[in-house]
Amino acid sequence: MKAVPLRKLVLGIGGLAAFILLWKLVTDAKLVSPVFFPGPERTYVALVKGLSGGPLLSQTFETVKRMLLGWLLASFVGILFGALVGVSKRARAFIAPTLELLRPLPASAMIPVAIAFLGFSDNMVLVVIAFGALWPMLLATVHGFAAMEPRLYEVSEVLGLNRAQVIWKLALPSAMPMILASLRLGLTISLILAVVGEMLASREGLGQSILAASRSFRSADLFAGIVILGAIGLFGSRLLSVAERHLLRWQASSR
């Protein structure tokens, strides 16, 4: 990781401090009723209390578990199936248009269908997460394979690489930038759908927790939950950034 310039660090922290101060001023002046909108201190207290002994820790664990399981399932199926479709021109001609047709379908619209089959269960939530996160990975893999430099196919022919070698040594690495970007998008989608699923199906987790908090006007608990959800998202995307930098170190360093 590059060192952050001091100026940027100072300004950044200053900006964050100003943001929190503004938040405090708005709540202290009671511009919005404190019943609905807690100040930073109350949120912090709720956060600490919830994490130490309160239910927040186990709820966080549940949500993260759900998100990761669905994401892994989607990654596995998406990349595998995407590779199978992407590697054959014929399969692409038959299957890719249908995939493109389904892509704009909001994943959340599948929730009622999933409920119809699986009821309000953990499995239902998992299926919805995996289904929603599947599309970007599937299509990125298909497109990544299709977009491989044609010259490299010729190189593989001249060198006499077999099909497995072409997939493993040429197509997959060349699709890797697109696949990694889709993994990141997929993780975002997984978190969103985990929260939605928990809200709808009342499964244990942060989604259900913040919905319950809002229904009983415990706004500080609600905000504490949101802060943790943000932290999960931030942590996940940072982790993937590190992986990306490592796996794509051969690319011209962008940004």
Partner 1 sequence: MSAARVLKNGGRAAALPVALIVLAQVAATVTQLESDSLASPADIAMAFVSVMGDGTLLKATADTLKAAAAGCLLGVGAGSLLGIVLGLFRIADDALDLTIELLRPVPVVALIPVVMMLLGFGAEMEIVIIALGMLWPSVVLARAAVKEVEPRLMEVSNVLQLGFAARVWKIVLPAILPQLFMSLKLAAGYALVVAVTVEITANPLGLGYGIMMAQQALRPAEMFAYLIWIGAVGWLISVLLNAAQRTFFPAFVNGEGR
Partner 2 sequence: MVVTQLSTRPRHGGGHSAPRSGEPRIRIRDVTLAYGPLQIIGGISLDIASGETISVIGPSGCGKTTLLRMLAGLARPTSGGVELDGSVLGGPNRSVAIVFQDYGKALLPWRTAAGNVSLALEARGCPAKERPAIVRDLLEKIGLGQHAAKYPREMSGGMQQRLQIARCLAQEPKVLLMDEPFGALDAMTRQALQDEVLGLVATTGATMVFVTHDLEEAIYLGDRIVCLQPNPGRVGRIVDVSLARPRDQLLTREDPEFLRLRRELYDLIKDDHQ
- Asked if 137 and 183 count as a contact pair (C-beta separation under 8 A), the reply is yes
C-beta of 161: minimal distance to partner 2 in Å?
Answer: 5
Binding piece for partner 1, criterion CB under 8 A, among 53-61, 78-86, 112-120, 155-163:
112-120
Long-range contacts of residues 202-211, Cβ cutoff 8 Å, at least 24 apart: 202/120, 203/62, 203/66, 203/120, 203/121, 203/122, 203/125, 204/58, 204/59, 204/62, 205/59, 205/62, 205/63, 205/66, 206/56, 206/59, 206/60, 206/62, 206/63, 207/63, 208/59, 209/55, 209/56, 209/59
Binding status of residue 37 toward partner 1 by CB under 8 A? yes
Q: CA torsion sign, 181 to 251 to 148 to 160? A: negative
- Burial class of residue 149, CB neighbours in 10 A (0-12, 13-18, 19+): exposed
Identify which of residues 48 and 155 has a Cβ nearer to partner 2 in the complex: 155
Identify which of residues 171 and 194 has a Cβ nearer to partner 2 in the complex: 171
109 DSSP assignment: G
Element (H, E) at 142: helix 122-146
- Residue from 83, 111, 126, 140 binding partner 1 (CB under 8 A): 111
Residues in the chain: 255
Identify which of residues 98 and 254 has a Cβ nearer to partner 2 in the complex: 254
- Residue from 1, 3, 29, 116 binding partner 1 (CB under 8 A): 116
Say which entry of partner 1, partner 2, none residue 45 contacts (CB below 5 to 8 A, set by partner kind): none
Q: What is the CA radius of gyration of the chain?
A: 22
Say which entry of partner 1, partner 2, none residue 174 contacts (CB below 5 to 8 A, set by partner kind): partner 2
Binding piece for partner 1, criterion CB under 8 A, among 45-53, 160-168, 175-183, 199-207:
199-207
C-beta of 230: minimal distance to partner 1 in Å?
Answer: 4
Binding status of residue 148 toward partner 1 by CB under 8 A? no
Identify which of residues 103 and 245 has a Cβ nearer to partner 1 in the complex: 103
Binding status of residue 105 toward partner 1 by CB under 8 A? yes
Q: What is the rounded distance in angstroms from the CA atom of residue 242 to the CA atom of residue 184? A: 12
Q: Could you tell me the two tokens for 234?
A: 């931030």
Q: Provide the binding-site residues for partner 1, judged by CB under 8 A.
A: 7-8, 11-16, 18-19, 32, 36-37, 93-95, 97-98, 101-113, 115-117, 143, 146, 188, 191-192, 195-196, 199-200, 206-207, 210-211, 213-215, 217, 219, 222-223, 225-226, 229-234, 236-237
Q: Provide the binding-site residues for partner 2, judged by CB under 8 A.
A: 149, 151-152, 154-161, 165, 169-170, 173-174, 176, 248-252
